[in-house]
Amino acid sequence: MSSGMWTSLGVIAPLLAALVALRFANVPKHSRQQQFLMPAVAFVFVVFALIVLYRFNAWIDRALEWLFGLIPFLAQVYDTRWLYVLENTLLVLVFFVVKYLYRMSVRPLFVGEKFAGSTLVGHFYEYEAAVGKWFVRPRFSDLRVFYAVLFWVSIVITAVLLLWQQAAPSWPGFAGIAFPALATLMIGEVWYALNGMTRAEASDAIEAEHDAASRIANYAALREVFRRTFRRRVLDEGVDLQQPFSLSSHHALDRLSKSGDSSELLFAEYFARVKQSGTEIDENLLHASLEILRGTSTLIHSPFYTDLTHYLALPSYIRQLRGGKTLIIVGRDFAADEVIEWFTRGLQTISGVPELWQIARLTQHTNYDLDVGVLRTADVHNLELLQQNDEFFREVQTVILLEPSRMVATAQLGLAVLVSRLNNGQAPVYIACDHNHDGLVDALSHLLKVSLTDVIATVQARGVRSEMVWQAEGPHLAAQILPGVARYLGVGTEIAAVALKHHVSEVEWVGGDKFPVVDMSWISGQYFAKINAFAEMELSQRALSDSFVARAHPLGVPRTKKRFMVVEDELQNVYESLRMFASRSTENGFVNLISENYLLRDYMVDNRTLFSIDPKAIPGFVPDFARTVRNTVLRLVLQLTVYGATEEAILREFSLVGLGAADSGPIDGAPVEPTAITLLRQQAELVLGLSEIFIERIEPRHPVAGAADHSVEAHYRILPQGATSELINELSSAYFLVEDEAEHRDYIGACLQGHVTQTVMPGQFLTVGGKYYEVLTLAHNGAHTEVLLRRAAEHIHGRRTYRQIRTFTLSEQRQAQQNAPVVEGVEITLERQRATIDVQTHGFLEQPRRDEFSETLRVRVPGLSARRYLAKDVLRIGVPGATPEVRRTIALLLNEMFVTTFPNDHKFIVAATNAALAEHDELLPLLHVDDDDAIYIIEDSQVDLGLLVSVERHWRRLLETVTDYLEWLHEPAPADIDTAVSPVRFADEDDASYEQRQQHIQEAEARGGYEIAQPPSLWRRIMMKIRAWFTRTPRPQAEEPDGEAERSES
């Protein structure tokens, strides 16, 4: 490039820089609607400049002609090219000043929704009152690109024209001065006026923003949107401000790296590498993982196993290298495959080699070469499966239990049998991951026969959390935002649609077994056109499915920096559910909890302060491990049927419940047999009614050297014949088969055969793995019961709830134990009794929600088998001074409380009194008992589930809650209660805009709708703005709105 060209570029560079610098005088992009007059201002400026400059140039020409005549040598120095560039540059600079003055003058004027010219602006922008901002209409977003290209092309043309003029000034076309900068300036102002923010761009800006205050303001705005849109469905809302923090692990890793222990050095090296990859290391979990490797059984109060990948996989990996195997027992059957994928990734992360370890679900045909076996809770009572996999179990050294609280009650017999076979009878190391339930440590310690001394506390929430509690019941919300859609969309869909409309990039709906979110997500996809149009998204079904994600497994939700969730209240405990899912985000999260109308929901919401501080004020209880004679006999029957047991082992089990050789006696007419067998026969007849048990003796194949009597090592096995076979079938699994998949013999769930009627009945609907099923029939396959289901996604019309219609009859009542304590108070007595219980299930009540009785359907199911429990414990709560109405009320309230305190097992525990309610006579089970002064707590199961023991231990706490609830229910609401919604202050919002938006809200509330009437006249509004501009004073700290308070705290 020649030196002349460089000189020309240097001459025109100031002009080009001035044209580009005009963008720095723009109104900020989020308020760009204020620049709507600039194209008109630019047009006026261009016309005025052209008129003035052409007259000015003629005057300059005459002045130069006179000057050159006066001083001739100047004519030789003067270059006409100078004036060409100079005038264009000065024009742009003058316009920059005009534009900056415009920006400063309109800031207090063109704000809010209504102002002079807002109608014109409304053609290109649309106002969102909830956030107080204008957004470019989607149809003009592409037009902005056209003007942007046109602007930059104009700059190029201007540069080329000026370079040409510098190179050939004598060309006739340059005889007069041209002003290409004015044309470029004009095009640029049109582009700048249209180049505001779209909703999508605002969302991206929020996501990229690192200032927590901006994100808080955004979620505060979203809470306000929800309040305005679905006011009557929001039960509670709030924000929890905690500074995001990083988990400190530097000192822990440093100490381990300096240790002389090879295991500690290995852990230090591995977790240092994990930390370098960007994963935070929890020091508590790090030490727990190391202790697991050393053989310490541990309970981790976090059910989200994805948070624990490294801490569980590494010790398991090392123990597997040493020859042991790993067993994972999952509390949710449908999650088994997901757990397999999770643990496979964890092991692969350590080794870097795919498929190094064999991991699969245990079945009746499992390959023995497995290194990691995954067992579903449904298979714990599959006796054939336990027998086929015995060799694998004997080599298990590590056991991971995911959600053991779902197993303790109904799977305790099978687990107890399984535990006795693990690691050749030596206790393996157990790792339990679960919610923070009361009683879980004690129950697991007894069930697993280990001491859980290492208990890791619940993971604390971090960062900023917004939360809202939603009523699940009520009119369909779709009609409020999606005209023409009358179908039930589950509440979560409507919440997601509004969130997506207001800049949330992804919404996750977590359902579990509470609501069929997978099916509802598919149904919502059929309305993608209306939902996407409302949310202003791309009109494609894929766009909706990418932004609206259904998660059937709540515990597989990973922890991320930012997350917007819709969660079903599966625990039936509002603030415990909120606390649990608050941990899914580390910087900024929004949890929307959809809560059905169980008894304690509104009570908890009204006492938010208490339950927010202590979510376990009304906790979920884990059934206590029931070490009873009944369970001992049942466990021994299973043990002897599957594996057999020695006489010593049988006696040891009976000794744990206070029975020994002295409690057995000869059976008339029976041959002499070992004491243990005689004791087993007598107790089985006493508590189970088994008059005959076929037991065979199996001599040892390899006699013990040096033993005088080889018979002491003999095993005894039960032959499943007659009544024993029926009992074993009752204790085996009844599988849930889907009609279309029945011939494949796979299943989606199971329960004990003796629990089928208490769990499901034909005609009911249930949710498994996020999908909706109808129970068709209880089929009998030989001696086994199978529950046949049919997919029923098209039948989701609400949230049905069911109540069993049962009749209990108590007879042969007596004191449970000779030394059983009896609690006697002033107005109450509490004692455990033993009785024969006869139960008959007649059908069920179907309700649209638990508190809706006017639309209740009574469904009779004929042919259901009666159940009889011999010598089974019941809890008698004597209230001699209470009327029948009081006893009925207390019994009904206790049953409703069990929904929260035993969320997984409340179907098996009932409170009943000997008279039914007069008005709603089937809300309480019918009880026949010769006792008019008591309430009875009864377990509806052949197994002692531990629910009765738990109620007995916590009876005072339960009755105190009943009392508090009744006082709350009858306490009149304060007359001066303040129901006003706290105002929200948005980022970058000045006082004038804030005041106008508050006025907008007040007017909307006064008219009972979201839209407001016409604002004050234009001149009055302008005067209000000007007056506010000159009289503005700092806002007192005490009156700081919630939004500002949130930002300041952050």
Q: Is the pLDDT of residue 65 over 90?
A: no
CA angle 360, 445, 634 (to 5 degrees): 75
Q: Is the pLDDT of residue 260 over 70?
A: yes
Q: How far apart are CA 108 and CA 993, in angstroms?
A: 8
- The pTM of the full predicted model, rounded to 2 decimals, is 0.74
> Higher model confidence: residue 807 or residue 199?
807
Q: How far apart are CA 953 and CA 621, in angstroms?
A: 11
How high is the pLDDT of residue 361?
93
Q: Is the pLDDT of residue 979 over 60?
A: no
**Does the CA dihedral 543-546-552-554 come out positive or negative?**
negative
Give, for 340, the enclosing helix (H) or strand (E). helix 336-351
Domains 256-456 and 467-617 share a fold: yes
Q: How far apart are CA 829 and CA 812, in angstroms?
A: 20
Q: Is the pLDDT of residue 1030 over 80?
A: no
| Mean of pLDDT over the chain | 81
Q: How far apart are CA 143 and CA 195, in angstroms?
A: 9
- Amino acid, res. 439: G
DSSP string of 429-491? EEEEE----BTHHHHHHHHHTS---EEEPPPPP-SEEEEEEEES-SS-SHHHHSTT--S--TT
Q: Is the pLDDT of residue 722 over 80?
A: yes
* Average pLDDT score over residue span 714-738: 88
Candidates 807, 810, 828; CA nearest to 881 is: 828
List of residues 6+ apart from 1036 with CB closer than 8 A? none
Domain ranges, ordered by start, for the chain: 3-197, 256-456, 467-617, 629-729, 732-797, 798-969, 991-1049
* Residue with token string 């638990």: 850
Q: How confident is the model at residue 22 (pLDDT cuts 50, 70, 90)?
A: confident
Q: Is the pLDDT of residue 972 over 90?
A: no
Which of 355-369, 715-729, 988-1002 shows the lowest per-residue confidence on average (mean pLDDT)? 988-1002
Candidates 281, 351, 339; CA nearest to 306 is: 339
Beta bridge partners of 429: 398
Which of 44-48, 858-862, 894-898, 940-944 shows the lowest per-residue confidence on average (mean pLDDT)? 44-48
Q: Is the pLDDT of residue 243 over 70?
A: no
C-alpha 950 chain-centroid distance: 28
- pLDDT tens-digit series, residues 867-916: 999 999 999 999 988 888 889 989 999 999 999 999 999 999 999 998 65
Give phi and psi for 329, each to the nearest 5. Answer: -110, 120
Task: Yes or no: say if 490 and 506 are a contact pair by the CB < 8 Å rule.
Answer: no
Instruction: Quickly list H helices, 811-931.
Output: 884-901
Instruction: Quickly list H helices, 918-1017.
Output: 947-970, 991-1006
Q: How confident is the model at residue 1041 (pLDDT cuts 50, 70, 90)?
A: very low
Task: Yes or no: say if 1027 and 1019 are a contact pair by the CB < 8 Å rule.
Answer: no
Q: Is the pLDDT of residue 64 over 90?
A: no
- Amino acid, res. 553: H
Longest CA–CA separation in the chain, Å: 151
How high is the pLDDT of residue 494?
92
C-alpha 369 chain-centroid distance: 37
> Higher model confidence: residue 307 or residue 29?
307
- pLDDT tens-digit series, residues 84-104: 677 788 888 888 899 888 888
- pLDDT tens-digit series, residues 134-172: 888 877 777 878 888 888 888 888 877 777 666 666 565
Q: Is the pLDDT of residue 1033 over 80?
A: no
How high is the pLDDT of residue 166?
64
* Average pLDDT score over residue span 362-370: 80
- pLDDT tens-digit series, residues 745-804: 568 889 999 999 999 999 999 999 999 999 999 887 666 778 999 999 999 999 999 999
Q: Is the pLDDT of residue 390 over 80?
A: yes
Q: Can you name the CATH fold of 467-617?
A: Rossmann fold (3.40.50)
Which of 292-306, 535-549, 750-764, 817-831 shows the lowest per-residue confidence on average (mean pLDDT)? 817-831
* Average pLDDT score over residue span 671-686: 86
- For 505-540, give the secondary structure using H, E and C: CCEEEECCCCCCHHHHHHHHHCCHHHHHHHHCCCCC
Q: What share of the chain is helix, strand, coil (3-state, %, to 5)?
A: 50, 20, 35
Q: Is the pLDDT of residue 1011 over 60?
A: no
Q: How far apart are CA 983 and CA 952, in angstroms?
A: 48
- Token representation of residue 882: 């209470």
How high is the pLDDT of residue 496?
93
Q: How confident is the model at residue 212 (pLDDT cuts 50, 70, 90)?
A: very low
Beta bridge partners of 374: 328, 361
Q: Is the pLDDT of residue 399 over 90?
A: yes
Q: How far apart are CA 939 and CA 822, in angstroms?
A: 20
Candidates 61, 89, 80; CA nearest to 169 is: 80
In terms of CATH, what superfamily is 256-456? P-loop containing nucleotide triphosphate hydrolases (3.40.50.300)
List of residues 6+ apart from 303 with CB closer than 8 A? 402, 403, 433, 434, 435, 555, 580
Candidates 958, 954, 821, 935; CA nearest to 878 is: 935
Number of Cβ within a 10 Å radius of residue 433: 23
Strands (E), 641-689: 645-646
Which of 31-35, 48-52, 175-179, 572-576 shows the lowest per-residue confidence on average (mean pLDDT)? 175-179
Which of 134-138, 586-590, 653-657, 918-922 shows the lowest per-residue confidence on average (mean pLDDT)? 918-922
How high is the pLDDT of residue 779?
80
Beta bridge partners of 803: 845
Q: How far apart are CA 690 and CA 693, in angstroms?
A: 7
* Residue with token string 């369909």: 476
Beta bridge partners of 737: 788
Candidates 329, 595, 645, 617; CA nearest to 468 is: 595
CA angle 450, 453, 454 (to 5 degrees): 120
List of residues 6+ apart from 996 with CB closer than 8 A? 111, 112, 113
Task: Yes or no: say if 835 and 814 are a contact pair by the CB < 8 Å rule.
Answer: yes
Q: Determine the 3-state secondary structure of 783 from DSSP.
A: coil
Candidates 857, 731, 743; CA nearest to 802 is: 857
Alpha-carbon distance values, 689 to 475, 596, 692, 755 (Å): 52, 42, 9, 19
> Higher model confidence: residue 82 or residue 124?
124
Candidates 557, 506, 548, 561; CA nearest to 342 is: 557
- pLDDT tens-digit series, residues 414-448: 999 999 889 776 889 999 999 888 889 999 999 99
